[in-house]
Amino acid sequence: MKKLRTRLVFILIPMLVSSVATATEAEKSHMDISKYPSHTCSAPTRPVEPGSLNTQSEVDKYNAKVDNYNSKIVKYTDCIQKYVDIAKNDIKKIRKKITDAIKEANSQ
């Protein structure tokens, strides 16, 4: 059993290292040898609701702030979705490598 674990370590480590380098070059990936990165998306600041809007000008200014926020929130959620999609793809690649390694070890 110890011999099998040693063999798996020597098989898995080079496979994972080479797959990380290949994946980042060939496809979008967040994988890195040291750690998985956090997203870099910037959340917009919600406009402060005024106590009261007394003039049409105040209403227009507030509505412009809300429109600007809504535009930024769409970009933010798109950024988060892109990060999540890439992360899910990385997980899929890792699971495949694990499955392949287990199949190889079991065939020996």
* Cβ–Cβ < 8 Å for 62, 50: yes
Report the first-to-last Cα separation within the chain, whole angstroms.
13
Give the pLDDT confidence of 68-102 residue by residue, as tens digits: 999 999 999 999 999 999 999 999 999 999 999 99
28 or 34, which is more confident: 28
| Domain definitions of the chain by residue range | 2-107
- In this predicted structure, what is the pLDDT of residue 51? 85
Give the pLDDT confidence of 35-64 residue by residue, as tens digits: 889 999 999 999 998 888 899 999 999 999
